[in-house]
């Protein structure tokens, strides 16, 4: 049977577009479009502009395209685009693995495909291969990565990005296995940004994309990596989670029969996924019972154990977010903003927005309650209990967040999100080109249409 890396690599290298179910093809194309829209919006709002500044200072000059640039090396292009796709925290997430999948996979696949002159079918096969690897590597340990302080998007996503780049550029199974072995020494990403609201989290997706591209290139030129990178005594699971409750073998066993790409959840809000169900539950309460902030005595947000650690504790930091990025990981802020402003969108996380005095006055009245929606982190359930000054107690909750497979957004919802996001930074004709071509990716002879990403501009 070979090692787990070898089994994954056989699947990745041999994957043909004809083997992928049509529904999975459609999911993959739509998720890729969603990720690129998120990246263009981030560029338009000036998010992570330091990435371009840094790579132009310390990197070389090249001809690779990134969002907002045409003069980067391939590795720098993958890094910049990956970081931007994750910068707003608006990009997709797989519920059980808790990996932001597309932000690492799609940029790595795009750059590898452009360098190799690949077809749209090869690019799409690379994206699907990357999705399947990222998610399975994360699924094998569930929420354990978060519990140990690692960000799955970085430490699991690098393997997906490597698989995506390897398939997009046409590596064989042996080369792909070497690339995955190399990627094990590049897996990185700490959750310590939660301590002060700094911006390292968004870099994890970019670094995964860059590292995946690099690992594939090294393997293509003869570098080797350990075949036992996953199950070895000094391998990935042994060191990152001390082997706790990890079983990649079961995850690998149904490759090609069960497609986890179909399980990836879209985000309706540009904030941590553990805030979403509670925000939607509050929206349901408010739709039936219109309330102003001064009519509310208290709000309790329902969240899971992982949600507590990410969006509810420490209470002092969550009640008074210190930075715009900090606010994305604050359940009190997200709930207060939804009640006070009637929305939670890209504009809700600017410096001016988090300084809103009415929101700041409400957040100290918002607490949390721990609830268990599943024995495994396979959903982002949540809810609210609202107590009013006239004595009413109003509750609502969702077992599954909106945007996931069990409570899906429609294709029109996702396309509307893309058009809005991409429209912040691209002219309408380029938005239309991205949408039309990405949704027909499997049939394209080349993927040069992606050069329109370079025309993204910042909002004035």
The verdict on residue 330 lying in a domain is yes
What φ, ψ does residue 424 adopt, rounded to 5°? -65, -30
| 236 closest CA partner among 300, 152, 316, 170 | 152
- Rounded to 10 degrees, the C-alpha dihedral 53/58/62/63 comes to -20
pLDDT in tens, 341-364: 999 999 999 999 999 999 999 999
Q: Assess whether 121 and 232 both reside in one domain.
A: yes
pLDDT digits (tens, 9 = 90+) for 172-182: 999 999 999 99
Q: Are 340 and 193 in the same domain?
A: no
Q: How far apart are CA 159 and CA 249, in angstroms?
A: 16
In this structure, are residues 97 and 378 in contact, taking their beta carbons and an 8 Å threshold?
Answer: no
* 450 within some domain: yes
| 160 in any annotated domain | yes
Q: Are residues 202 and 328 in the same domain?
A: no
Number of H helices, E strands in the chain: 22, 6
Specify whether 292 is located in the same domain as 364.
yes
Residue 104's CB is within 10 A of a number of other CB atoms, namely: 37
403 part of a folded domain? no
What per-residue confidence (pLDDT) applies to 50?
96
pLDDT at 405: 87
Question: Which CATH number belongs to the domain containing residue 322 in this structure?
Answer: 3.30.1330.120
**Residue 377 confidence (pLDDT):** 59
Please answer whether residues 29 and 441 qualify as being in contact, where contact means their C-beta atoms are separated by less than 8 angstroms: yes
- Partnered with residue 384 across adjacent β-strands are 301, 396
Residue 61's SS3 state is: strand
Backbone angles phi, psi at 299, to 5 degrees: -130, 135
Rounded Cα distance between 192 and 151, Å, is 9
CA–CA distances in Å: residue 361 to residues 232, 327, 394, 451: 52, 15, 21, 46
Distance of CA 252 to the CA centre of its chain: 22
45, 81 in Cβ contact below 8 A? no
**Do 277 and 134 belong together in one domain?**
no
Q: Are residues 251 and 277 in the same domain?
A: no
CA separation for the pair 407, 414 (Å, rounded): 13
Question: Domain ends where: 398, 428, 446?
Answer: 398
Residue 443 CB-density burial (10 A; 0-12 exposed, 13-18 middle, 19+ buried): exposed
Q: Is 411 exposed, middle or buried (0-12, 13-18, 19+ CB in 10 A)?
A: exposed
Asked if 193 and 150 touch (Cβ cutoff 8 Å), the reply is: no
At residue 70, φ and ψ (nearest 5 deg) are -125, 0
User: What integer pLDDT is reported at residue 82 of this predicted model?
Assistant: 98
- Listed in order, strand segments (DSSP E) in 257-343 are 296-303
Query: What backbone torsions phi and psi does residue 198 show, to the nearest 5 degrees?
Result: -75, 180
Instruction: Identify the pLDDT of residue 379.
Output: 72
Measured between alpha carbons, how far is residue 282 from residues 137, 171, 271, 344, 384 in Å?
A: 34, 49, 15, 12, 6
CA torsion angle 281 377 269 200 (round to 10): 140
The number of CA neighbours under 13 Å toward the Cβ of 323 is 10
Which residues of 246-346 form beta strands (DSSP E)? 296-303
Q: 404 in a domain, yes or no?
A: no
Parallel, antiparallel, or unpaired for β 366-370 and 69-72? unpaired
Query: Structural domain of residue 51, as residue ranges?
Result: 4-267+409-455
Alpha-carbon distance of 263 to 255, in angstroms, equals 14
pLDDT at 250 (0 to 100)? 93
Number of structural domains (the chain) is: 2
pLDDT of residue 114: 97
Residue 353 falls inside a structural domain: yes
Tens of pLDDT, residue by residue, the chain (460 residues): 799 999 999 999 999 999 999 999 999 999 999 999 999 999 999 999 999 999 999 988 999 999 999 999 999 999 999 999 999 999 999 999 999 999 999 999 999 999 999 999 999 999 999 999 999 999 999 889 999 999 999 999 999 999 999 999 999 999 999 999 999 999 999 999 999 999 999 999 999 999 999 999 999 999 999 999 999 999 999 999 997 778 899 999 999 999 999 999 999 999 999 999 999 999 999 999 999 999 999 999 999 988 999 999 999 999 999 998 899 999 999 999 999 999 999 999 999 999 999 999 999 999 999 998 876 656 789 999 999 999 999 999 999 889 998 899 999 999 999 999 999 999 999 999 999 999 999 999 999 999 999 999 999 7
* Same domain (yes/no): 154, 122: yes
Distance in angstroms (rounded) separating the CA atoms of residues 111 and 304: 37
Q: What is the dihedral of CA 456, 439, 160, 193, to 10 degrees?
A: 40
Question: Same structural domain for residues 283 and 256?
Answer: no
**324 shares its domain with 380:** yes
> For residue 260, what is the domain's CATH number?
1.10.4100.10
What is the pTM assigned to this prediction? 0.96
Quick one: 66 and 138 in the same domain?
Answer: yes
pLDDT at 63: 95
Domain end among 398, 423, 442 = 398
Q: Are residues 262 and 377 in the same domain?
A: no
- Choose among 9, 30, 17: nearest CA to 403: 30
Q: Does any domain span residue 460?
A: no
Same domain assignment for residues 252 and 287: no
- Domain stops at, among 375, 398, 421: 398
């Amino acid at each position: 049977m070979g090692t787990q890396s070898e089994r994954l690599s056989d699947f990745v290298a041999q994957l043909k577009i004809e083997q992928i179910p049509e529904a999975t093809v459609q999911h993959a194309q739509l998720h890729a479009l969603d990720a690129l829209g998120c990246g263009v919006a981030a560029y338009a709002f000036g998010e992570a502009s330091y990435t371009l500044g840094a790579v132009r200072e310390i990197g070389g000059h090249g001809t690779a395209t990134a969002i907002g640039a045409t003069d980067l090396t391939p590795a720098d292009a993958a890094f910049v685009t990956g970081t931007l796709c994750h910068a707003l925290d608006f990009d997709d997430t797989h519920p059980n693995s808790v990996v932001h999948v597309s932000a690492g996979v799609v940029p790595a696949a795009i750059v590898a495909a452009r360098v190799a002159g690949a077809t749209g079918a090869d690019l799409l096969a690379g994206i699907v291969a990357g999705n399947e690897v990222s998610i399975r590597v994360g699924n094998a340990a569930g929420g354990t990565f978060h519990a140990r302080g690692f960000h799955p998007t970085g430490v699991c996503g690098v393997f997906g990005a490597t698989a995506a780049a390897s398939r997009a550029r046409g590596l064989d199974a042996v080369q792909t296995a070497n690339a995955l072995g190399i990627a094990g020494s590049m897996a990185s990403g700490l959750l310590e940004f939660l301590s002060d609201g700094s911006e390292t989290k968004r870099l994890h997706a970019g670094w995964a994309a860059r590292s995946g591209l690099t690992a594939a290139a090294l393997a293509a030129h003869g570098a080797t990596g350990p075949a036992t990178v996953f199950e070895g005594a000094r391998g990935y699971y042994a060191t990152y989670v001390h082997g706790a409750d990890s079983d990649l073998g079961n995850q690998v066993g149904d490759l090609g029969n069960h497609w986890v790409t179909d399980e990836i959840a879209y985000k309706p809000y540009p904030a941590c996924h553990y805030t979403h169900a509670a925000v939607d539950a509050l929206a349901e309460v408010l739709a039936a019972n219109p309330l102003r902030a001064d009519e509310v005595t208290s709000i309790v947000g329902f969240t899971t154990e992982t949600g507590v650690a990410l969006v509810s504790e420490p209470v002092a930091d969550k009640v008074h977010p210190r930075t715009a990025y900090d606010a994305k990981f604050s359940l009190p802020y997200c709930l207060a903003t939804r009640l006070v402003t009637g929305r939670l969108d890209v504009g809700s996380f600017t410096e001016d927005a988090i300084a809103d005095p009415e929101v700041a006055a409400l957040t100290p009245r918002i607490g949390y309650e721990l609830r268990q929606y599943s024995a495994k982190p396979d959903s982002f359930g949540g809810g609210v209990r609202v107590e009013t000054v006239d004595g009413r107690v109003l509750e609502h909750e969702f077992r599954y967040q909106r945007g996931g497979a069990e409570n899906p957004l429609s294709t029109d919802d996702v396309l509307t999100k893309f058009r809005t996001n991409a429209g912040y930074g691209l002219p309408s004709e380029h938005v239309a080109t991205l949408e039309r071509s990405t949704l027909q990716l499997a049939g394209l002879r080349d993927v040069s249409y992606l050069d329109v990403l370079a025309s993204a501009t910042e909002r004035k």
